[in-house]
Amino acid sequence: MNDIGLIGLAVMGQNLALNIVRNGYSVSVYNRTAEKTKKFIEERVKGEKITPYYDVQNFVKSLSRPRKIILMVKAGNPVDEIIQELLPYLQEGDLLIDAGNSHYNDTDRRLEKLSHKGILYLGMGVSGGEYGALHGPSIMPGGSLKAYQMVEEMLLKISAKTEDGPCCSYIGDGSAGHFVKMVHNGIEYAIMQSIAEIYDIMRKILGMKSNEIGLIFHQWNEGKLSSFLVEITYKIMQHIDEQTQKPLVELILDKAEQKGTGKWTAQAAFDLGIPTPSLNLAVVARALSHFKKEREILSNLFGEKNRIAGDRSLISDLEKSLELSMFSSFSQGLWLIHEASIAHNYKINLLEILRIWKGGCIIRAKMLDFIKDILKENPQNINLLFSEKAMNFIKDKIKSVIRVTELSRRSGIPTFLLNSTLDYIFSLTESHLPANLIQAQRDFFGAHTFERTDEEGIFHVEWQPLE
């Protein structure tokens, strides 16, 4: 009898299986396409206690009870299909763990359905890509505490470790784990977009070569910006294509793909009414990048842009701009998680989220210590801005972001993320927004009513008639 079952042997499943077995557990594996299973066993399993199965029934039979089965398959219908296949062989008290990037609504639906059959279910976010899956990811399990406790010991063992402990913590009830993983990805999109914009300014305004840009990112990675995404940017900039001997990044088509978690984050933010402009615009920027042909035609129609030549003093402004956009992306994401926790009764501990994001995951960053300090000072400060520490940090950076965005505006370089960082902060620190006019317009054409600043109540007036 094996301790754990794992279904889905693409990059994540293979590496996670190896990670689990190296931590002392025996694992049964199954993949829909048998060829992939065979290849995995032949090429990557070197005597570890991993047993391949080529049908679901024998796979399930091979597991000690209560059975614990990790699903690492493509999100969406495949998860339902595999659950359906498993169900005839499962018994009350068995546990299914969906470790893919499932939509949180799907997780709630599956939890509900399986609870009627006495099957326990965890919706578990896993971040860290294939390297993380093998060497220790950040793990975000949600569902019932009882279900979590059945696998807690193993999850703590296989997760990444930092000085603050294993990067795994029970996130909360229901779909809490998948919601938090989704927002993690939304923040990831935003940080990636801000890094890309800064790279664009370095090459277009400062005329820097990829190699030089890499060195700057390397330097930044030694300081306050130390993070996984800054580190890989440095490594990407240094990578030379064997065939052409050019930096590979310069040969990659500028169309960014997406699998959906960034979009879902924006949708959830709209549904909950939480402003996450940077997270939303990171999705917009990827969508826009897809219109390559149109961009080429329009760039000819528009004509040459007058690039302002910047000097190298801009580099420290770029560094501060990345710091502030990273900070504001975390601010927006945490606010969204907090609101979702109330709306869905997840009971999420934000400090724990920050702790487990410190290692293993794609958005791990030194800045999380600073953010944790701000939140520790006042746990009610859910978007981080309500603190002197945060305001001092913002004030120290904001002039740099203004300088950078002004220069990029004048040079015709789009900076969705950097602009949204400014607008997020400027809006939240503005006691008078022009929403009074919007309310008046709504009342004018739709009798939608408005509140007044000088009187309590709900009002509607007969505005001047249309001519």
When asked if residue 78 is in the footprint of ligand NDP (CB under 6 A), the reply is yes
When asked if residue 100 is in the footprint of ligand NDP (CB under 6 A), the reply is yes
Biggest alpha carbon–alpha carbon distance for the chain:
84
Is 280 annotated as ligand-binding? Answer: no
User: Amino acid identity, residue 242?
Assistant: E
Site string for ligand NDP, 210-239 (x = CB under 6 A): ------------------------------
Q: Which of 4, 27, 69, 72 binds ligand NDP (CB under 6 A)?
A: 72
Of 214, 239, 217, 219, whose CA–CA distance to 230 is shortest?
217
| Residue 65 to residue 93: CA distance in whole angstroms | 8
The residue among 188 and 317 lying less far from ligand NDP, judged by its C-beta, is: 188
Q: Which of 129, 135, 232, 389 binds ligand NDP (CB under 6 A)?
A: 129
Q: Which of 6, 12, 114, 154 binds ligand NDP (CB under 6 A)?
A: 12
| Residue 103 to residue 174: CA distance in whole angstroms | 12
When asked if residue 33 is in the footprint of ligand NDP (CB under 6 A), the reply is yes
Burial 261-298 (b: 16+ CB within 10 A, else e): bbbbbbebbeebebbbbbbbbbbbbbeebeeeeeeeee
State which residue has the least CB distance to ligand NDP. 100
Cβ 135 to ligand NDP shortest distance, Å: 13
Q: Point out the catalytic residue in the list 68, 188, 339, 358.
A: 188
Phi/psi of residue 52, nearest 5 degrees:
-85, 145
When asked if residue 31 is in the footprint of ligand NDP (CB under 6 A), the reply is yes
Question: Among this protein's residues, is 339 annotated catalytic?
Answer: no
Site string for ligand NDP, 357-386 (x = CB under 6 A): ------------------------------
List, in sequence order, every beta strand (DSSP E) within 83-229.
95-98, 120-127, 138-143, 161-162, 165-166
When asked if residue 39 is in the footprint of ligand NDP (CB under 6 A), the reply is no
On whether the CB atoms of residues 283 and 259 are closer than 8 A, the answer is no
When asked if residue 73 is in the footprint of ligand NDP (CB under 6 A), the reply is yes
The residue among 13 and 52 lying less far from ligand NDP, judged by its C-beta, is: 13
| Residue 114 to residue 80: CA distance in whole angstroms | 11
Is 185 annotated as ligand-binding? Answer: yes
Choices 40-48, 67-75, 88-96, 242-250; region in contact with ligand NDP by CB under 6 A: 67-75
**Distances, alpha carbon 65 to alpha carbons 96, 230, 409, in Å:** 12, 44, 62
Q: Which two tokens stand for residue 178?
A: 């998948």
Cβ 17 to ligand NDP shortest distance, Å: 11
| Residue 96 to residue 151: CA distance in whole angstroms | 11
Dihedral sign from CA coordinates of 398, 404, 408, 410: positive
When asked if residue 151 is in the footprint of ligand NDP (CB under 6 A), the reply is no
Residues 6+ apart with CB under 8 A from 134: 15, 16, 18, 19
Cβ 49 to ligand NDP shortest distance, Å: 21
# of chain residues touching ligand NDP (CB under 6 A): 24
| Residue 176 to residue 345: CA distance in whole angstroms | 9
Question: Among this protein's residues, is 250 annotated catalytic?
Answer: no
On whether the CB atoms of residues 40 and 16 are closer than 8 A, the answer is no
Q: Show contacts with ligand NDP in window 385-444 (CB under 6 A).
A: none
Is 118 annotated as ligand-binding? Answer: no
Q: Which residues participate in catalysis according to the annotation?
A: 181, 188
Q: List residues binding ligand NDP (CB under 6 A).
A: 8-13, 31-33, 36, 72-75, 78, 81-82, 100-101, 126-127, 129-130, 259
Residues of the binding site for substrate: 101, 127-129, 184-185, 189, 259, 286, 442, 448
